[in-house]
Structure 1
Amino acid sequence: MIDFSRDGRVNITYNSRQASCQTPDNKIIPMKDVKLKKTKRLLSGHLWVFSNEIASRLSGYEPGEMVNLLDRQGNFLGRGYINPRSLITIRLLTRRKQEINRRFLTERISDAIKYREDVLGDTSSCRLVFGEADLLPGIIVDKYNDLLAVQLLTAGAERLKDKVIDVLARLLNPSAVVMRNDSAFRTIEGLPEEKYVAMGEVKEMPLIREGDSRILVDVLEGQKTGFFLDQRENRLAFSTLVKGGTGLDLFSYSGAWAVHIARKGARVIAVDSSSRAVEMISRNAAINGLSERIEPVCADVFDFLDAERSEGRRYDFIVLDPPAFVKSKANLKQAIRGYRAINANAVAILKRGGFLATSSCSHHLTLEAFLEVIQYAARVNQRYLRIVELRSQGRDHPVLATMPETRYLKCAFIQVI
């Protein structure tokens, strides 16, 4: 068994802000036991227990209830929360006999913050808590200046809501906490999709800094928590390959890729199917003094690429940063067809020597399958492609080595030769 016990304690200095908590920390809550018939995954360091690995009958357990995990012999394996309605039935929180209270959450969240401070330096805007990778399954916290956007994706995380908000308030003293619980993952857990301001007030969109650029973040109506922080390091890296010219930023969202590239002297056509996104592209271009170099276009990217190819246009660089086409393994084949189509068309309209940044943000699409998409694009266009660099999500989205599901983002920089 891997020993995941933690040495030492984190010393915390609290500020004067107070928040409510459902359960006092000094109250010991009795926990039910759950016996497992399969323990290999858990003992290998994974944090999930699937329904077919459980020996106990699941009737009588409430969604989000804390439970003790035992093997067939009754040996203690850890504590987590259960949801009998979900295929991922238990998510492990600790391998120790410790209370899951405010002190526990303070230590875990403090560890997550310290990690970002160590590896990023500038933590003004970043992902502060990344679920399982920070040993806090189902909990996402993004920081945009002094505003926090929080996602609680599971029934167990939802039960910890008041404590999580309380700890974040004490540690970070945010101006506002926005709950972005409008993810479809919550539906699977039997939870409503919702978004609201849980604390403070959002008077205006945060204007964050990314490298030398400034980007507006729509925390109330934007996708995910308002911005795609996981691509930050990739955006900055790809912009160093661009030496002027004209190119495309496809599935542009708020135009962050376009802004970084345009700062290098290039002209960028930023395409997105959402009129709201196109408005954000225009605003971010203006904020950075790049309105003359960035042309926002509202169009379906598949149709746009088909038209550009038909008209024989050629570009010096292209960014492909699509949403997750693969929501589950069941639609993997259909999604691969989509990835193949956009990548093949992108390669077709790149000039020789041109660069492509292409990504997939679904963990269901493996790295091998992602590389096969690139090979397909080269093969059908009868062009040689040089893989300049293979990248993943940023450092604020770390990967738990024993949970491959936490590595989801694939990003490749490619050159046509």
Structure 2
Amino acid sequence: MTAVPATWIERRARLAARMQPGSAAVLATAPEVLRNGDSEYPYRHDSYFYYLSGFAEPEAVLVLLAAAGDAPARSILFCREKNPEREIWDGYRHGPEGARIAFGFDEAYPIGELDAKMAQLLANVPALYYALGHSAALDAQVAGWLRAVRAQGRSGVAAPSSMHHLPAMLDEMRLVKDAGEQGLMERAARIAAGAHARAMRFTRPGVFEYEIEAELLHEFRRHGAQFPAYTPIVASGANACVLHYNQNSRHCRAGELVLVDAGCEFDGYASDITRTWPVNGRFSQEQKALYELVLRAQDAAFAAIVPGRPYSGMHEAALRVLTEGMLDLGLLDRSRYGSPEDAIADKAHLQFYMHGTGHWLGMDVHDVGPYRDMAAAERPSRPLLPGMALTVEPGIYVRPAPGVPEAYWNIGIRIEDDVIVTDGACRVLSADAPKGVAEIEAWMGES
């Protein structure tokens, strides 16, 4: 882990300051999940929990108590106890005291004491913050705590009178990345960019999509990434026109493109990169025309990523370029649509470009936070702020259809980069992955 306890202490303090005085917040990490028999899926902590704690072990709960009067804010961790026998089988455990010291908590207790302690900690607390409706098990556990507090009513003890959805508060905190987070995201993007470059050089006619996937995964882990950030997409030929294709089982053939959407996770932060390249190392005339159209659309989107401008501006900029290109190349009928705006108004572009131009990026590959200003009556697209992280991923997908020039059939192209909003031009974290036509052809030609 590269973060320091001060980072998590500051985040917990910032959240506590936003809570109602004297209130409590409860946040559990993700459970372990059985894959089959007695084998679990690889464990991955809950992002919200890790954001506030830095603690990556399962079976852990964080409790925050906001300051009230002379009583300071408190952070309390419940976690597994030290267990030398289990540690022989499963690995090191911090234990409550070790975790308290290592991660800067005020107090720490065994997880087995959670229910009893919560009946005390929630006594006379005015409000409780937790993930409302997140899981039936959590809702039932909270209900049990509240019943235990109310049972003390004859002693003058009151239970919390209001409930608040904790993730909504954390979404706003997580939306703007600090310098440490940006550094981790840059590392994740560099690793993934190197993996794409390796996969390009490996690609040749006759390889299976899953062989390309194996090159990506090898490079991720070789450079310290703990996980893929999502299931990689390696889509050759017509498979590239399936947005979330991930069977990765087909032979790659000469004359086709392969679309690779793959990112890794490094110390809890994701990268998300897409590149599209020719299986035989050379773009055909039609592939090049579509590819360079998507590049122009991405450049237009980059130019729209400016603090104060709406998030939606990048999609609008890319969409206009793509739609104009569809008209120029004959994918859309110029005699029917006199301008890109006419075609967009008729939603004609959806035949070839049916998704948005990006999404938030961070601890989750599709990171948290609303895309609209929820406080405004009209709920417009929210303005960009320095430190926001997002992907920029225009594409074009041409399926066989009447009226569509056959030379473009079954060509699917997407180009995706990870960026940070800055006070000036956006900072592209994934620029190391070859992207220009000449650059890709030269890179693949050296393999």
Structure number with the higher strand fraction is: 1
Query: Which band: TM-score by shorter chain?
Result: under 0.3
TM-score by length of 1: 0.27
Structure number with the higher helix fraction is: 2
